[in-house]
Amino acid sequence: MPSVDLRKEIGRHRAARGMAEPGAGPAWTTAQEAVAGIVAWLGQEGRWPSPHDDPVPGAVEEDGDDPYGLGPLATLVRDRRVQDVLVVGADRVFAEVEGRLERQPVAFDDDEAVVALAQRLAAPLGRELTVTQPYVDARIDGLGLRLTATVPPFSRRPTLSLRKTRLSAADEASFIDQGFADAAVLRLLAEAVRARMNIVVFGATGSGKTTLARYLARHVPASERIVTIEETLELGLGEIHPHVVELETREQTRIAAAPMDMDQALRQALHMRPDRIVVGEVRHREALTFLMALGTGHAGSWTTLHASGAEEVFDRLALAMLFAAPQVEPGALRAMAARSVDLVVGVERDPEGRRRVVSVHEVAATANGRPRLRALYEAAPRGARGRGRAAMADAAPSEAEGREA
């Protein structure tokens, strides 16, 4: 890559922004801010060396083939068996290998080398990682990674997490082959999508929620328009369905002066003529906007949620809605969630790293503000007879008829 004359680029940057010369108007307060702004701007134009170009200062080179400048992490990132790479200080590197978290025999020279790598990965994205901004969470498209990093004093030692964002096939054949779900369960979910039922997929981190959410999109008619809202783009429904609009939230950075949170993005999505809305995960006030949208012409939408059981889903939704409506009784919010959601689907990951669908419940009615759930499918414990699967319930989804307030 050709060298960059920072003096000339600063002049171009100021002219492009309509900024006065130093002393003639407002100026950046510190040299650090100036350099960060220039680097971020050049990164957007593709004119600043990317994290791929130079080795990480102080990193231990375990493999000479390191085009991305990741130092001791290069081999792990290239390994197709590895999903997550997790660093805690210079000497503690872990990786999730085929579903199991294992410590790796690699290291950085010192903690400063970990910080240097994290800063270099974040800089072209317009993100800072400093004492005053001690964490970053961002998507690195060129590497197909999601970056999460922290530095002291926010964390005792610098941390770095790299999660590969490769997309699974999310089709019936691969799910059955991997033991993720039975054919009967997949047919049930496909029919629920075609019937425009509202679905919540729940489970713990890394249990397969996003993977199952991708599968559901396969059964939306091609004539319909899907709008997705995520904190970090991971669903990739554009590879599955022909008409998808993907929205991503953003934090305030040197490049993006105005932040956009999940609730704001969801409200914008409602103006984009969606037939279906898919929210990557609900955590806060966006839960109220999402559930209200389900009753205003957007039936057949779905989201994911962290929860340990089907009934807990509605407690979690009520808690999230309290951020937007703190004056409303939690019981009323829980009842609203029960009236809006038709199906809750549970997924889990076992200690061996194997993921599977463990339950499907229909919201049959509400009683005293709480949902009455009807089990359509419940998996038997792994290792039990019948390949760890329970029989399907006789009844198909009834589209939640006969609910009572």
Are residues 140 and 281 part of one domain?
Answer: no
| Structural domain range at position 115 | 71-164
Q: How confident is the model at residue 347 (pLDDT cuts 50, 70, 90)?
A: very high
Cβ neighbors of 185 (< 8 A, separation 6 or more) are: 357, 360, 377, 392
The mean of the pLDDT values for the chain is 80
Give a three-class secondary structure readout of 232-297: CCCCCHHHCCCCEEEEECECCCCCCCCCECHHHHHHHHCCCCCCEEEECCCCCCHHHHHHHHHCCC
- Give the pLDDT score at 286: 93
- Give the pLDDT score at 215: 94
Tokens at 41, concatenated: 């701007």
CA distance 314 to 371: 8
CA distance 306 to 319: 12
Beta bridge partners, 200, equal 303, 344
Reduced to 3 states, what is the DSSP secondary structure of residue 167? coil
Q: Write the CA distances from 137 to 63, 126, 127, 199, 349, integer angstroms.
A: 27, 12, 9, 28, 24
- For 383, half-sphere exposure in the C-beta direction (CA atoms, 13 angstrom radius) is 2
- Residue 254 confidence (pLDDT) above 70: no
Beta strands in 107-253 (DSSP E): 135-140, 145-150, 159-164, 199-203, 226-230, 244-248
- Residue 172 confidence (pLDDT) above 80: yes
Exposed e or buried b per residue across 376-401, where buried means at least 16 C-beta atoms within 10 angstroms of its C-beta: bbbbeebeeeeebbbebbeeebeebe
CA distance 68 to 388: 43
Q: Is residue 57 part of a domain?
A: no
Contact 295/342 with Cβ under 8 angstroms?
Answer: no
Q: How confident is the model at residue 322 (pLDDT cuts 50, 70, 90)?
A: very high
Q: Is residue 338 part of a domain?
A: yes
Ramachandran quadrant class, 208 (left: phi over 0; alpha: psi -120 to 50; beta: rest)? left
Q: Write the CA distances from 217 to 192, 213, 224, 235, 389, integer angstroms.
A: 11, 7, 11, 10, 24
CA distance 280 to 139: 15
- Give the pLDDT score at 388: 41
Return the top range by mean pLDDT from 64-73, 92-101, 159-168.
92-101
Cβ neighbors of 39 (< 8 A, separation 6 or more) are: 48, 123, 124
- Give the pLDDT score at 64: 46
- Give the pLDDT score at 283: 92
Q: Is residue 388 part of a domain?
A: no
Are residues 114 and 236 part of one domain?
Answer: no
Q: pLDDT, tens digit, for every residue of 21-65? A: 444 444 444 444 555 555 555 555 554 444 444 444 434 344 446
Of residues 224 and 295, the one with the higher pLDDT is 224
Reduced to 3 states, what is the DSSP secondary structure of residue 391? coil
Q: pLDDT, tens digit, for every residue of 348-370? A: 988 888 889 999 999 987 777 78
The tally of domains found in the chain comes to: 3
Tokens at 243, concatenated: 């008409």
Cα dihedral sign for 208, 210, 216, 217? Answer: negative
Are residues 176 and 154 part of one domain?
Answer: no
- Residue 240 confidence (pLDDT) above 50: yes
Q: Is residue 55 part of a domain?
A: no
Of residues 68 and 102, the one with the higher pLDDT is 102
Beta bridge partners, 203, equal 306
Q: Is residue 358 part of a domain?
A: yes
- Give the pLDDT score at 383: 57
Domain harbouring 314, CATH code? 3.40.50.300
Cα dihedral sign for 335, 340, 342, 345? Answer: negative
Are residues 331 and 216 part of one domain?
Answer: yes
Are residues 276 and 147 part of one domain?
Answer: no
- Residue 138 confidence (pLDDT) above 90: no
Burial grade of 15 (CB within 10 A; 0-12, 13-18, 19 or more): exposed
Give me the count of residues in the chain: 405
Are residues 196 and 137 part of one domain?
Answer: no
Q: Is residue 229 part of a domain?
A: yes
User: Which residue, chain included where needed, has tokens 């709008």?
Assistant: 227
Are residues 342 and 216 part of one domain?
Answer: yes
- Residue 106 confidence (pLDDT) above 80: yes
- Residue 281 confidence (pLDDT) above 70: yes
Q: Is residue 395 part of a domain?
A: no
User: Which residue, chain included where needed, has tokens 């050049």?
Assistant: 42
Are residues 85 and 41 part of one domain?
Answer: no
Are residues 145 and 10 part of one domain?
Answer: no
Q: Which of 164, 196, 225 is the last residue of a domain?
A: 164
Q: Is residue 52 part of a domain?
A: no
pTM of the model as a whole: 0.69
Task: State the virtual CA torsion across 385, 389, 392, 397 in degrees, nearest 10.
Answer: 170
